[in-house]
Amino acid sequence: MASRLYRIGIVGASSLAGKELADELGESVLAASNIVLLDEDESAAGQLTSAGEEPAFIQKLDATSFDGMDFVFFAGDAEVTKRHWQEARKAGASIIDLSYALEAEKDVLVEAPWVAEVVGSGKVADLKTPAVIASHPVALMLALVAAKLKAGPGLKSMAATVMEPASEHGRAAMDEMHQQTVSLLSFQTLPREQYDAQVSFNLLPSLGENAKVKLGRAELRIRTQYEQLGGEALSPLALQMVQAPVFHGYVVSVLIELEKPATAADVEKALEGDHFDLVGEDGEPPSNLSAAGQEDIMVRVAEDYGDAESGTRFWLWMAADNLKLAAINAIACAVELRRLRPSGKVQ
Q: How does pLDDT run across 12-30, given as a tens digit for each residue?
A: 999 999 999 999 999 999 9
Confidence bin at 1 (pLDDT 50/70/90): very low
Confidence bin at 297 (pLDDT 50/70/90): very high
Closest CA to 316 of 273, 258, 259, 234: 258
Element (H, E) at 154: none
CATH number listed for the domain at residues 7-135+327-340 = 3.40.50.720
* 10, pLDDT greater than 60: yes
* 52, pLDDT greater than 70: no
- CA quadruple 254, 259, 265, 266: dihedral sign: negative
Confidence bin at 342 (pLDDT 50/70/90): low
Confidence at residue 233, expressed as pLDDT on a 0 to 100 scale: 83
Q: How does pLDDT run across 189-219, given as a tens digit for each residue?
A: 999 999 999 999 999 999 999 999 999 999 9
Confidence at residue 346, expressed as pLDDT on a 0 to 100 scale: 44
Give the pairing of strands 7-11 and 34-39: parallel
Task: Give 155-210 as a DSSP string.
Answer: EEEEEEEEEE-GGGG-HHHHHHHHHHHHHHHTT-PPP-TTTSS--TT--BSS--TT
Whole-Å CA distances, 87 to 74, 117, 128, 215, 218: 12, 32, 16, 31, 27
Give the whole-number percent of the chain exceeding pLDDT 70.
92
Where does residue 206 rank: exposed (0-12), middle (13-18), buried (19+ CB within 10 A)?
Answer: middle
Confidence at residue 286, expressed as pLDDT on a 0 to 100 scale: 96
* Type of residue found at 123: K
On whether the CB atoms of residues 107 and 128 are closer than 8 A, the answer is yes
On whether the CB atoms of residues 81 and 11 are closer than 8 A, the answer is yes
- CA quadruple 99, 104, 109, 110: dihedral sign: positive
pTM of the full predicted structure? 0.91
Q: Is 286 left (phi over 0), alpha (psi -120 to 50) or beta?
A: beta
Q: Do the first three CATH levels of 7-135+327-340 and 139-322 match, i.e. the same topology? A: no
**How high is the mean pLDDT of the chain?**
91
Q: How does pLDDT run across 142-155, given as a tens digit for each residue?
A: 999 999 999 889 99
Q: For the chain, which residues make up each domain, given as ranges?
A: 7-135+327-340, 139-322
Lowest mean pLDDT among 38-47, 84-93, 136-145: 38-47
Rounded distance, CA 300 to CA 294, Å?
A: 15
Q: How does pLDDT run across 218-235, given as a tens digit for each residue?
A: 999 999 999 999 888 899
pLDDT average, residue stretch 297-304? 96
Q: How does pLDDT run across 226-284, given as a tens digit for each residue?
A: 999 988 889 999 999 999 999 999 999 999 999 999 999 999 999 998 999 999 988 89
Asked if CATH classification 3.30.360.10 holds for the domain at 139-322, the reply, yes or no, is yes
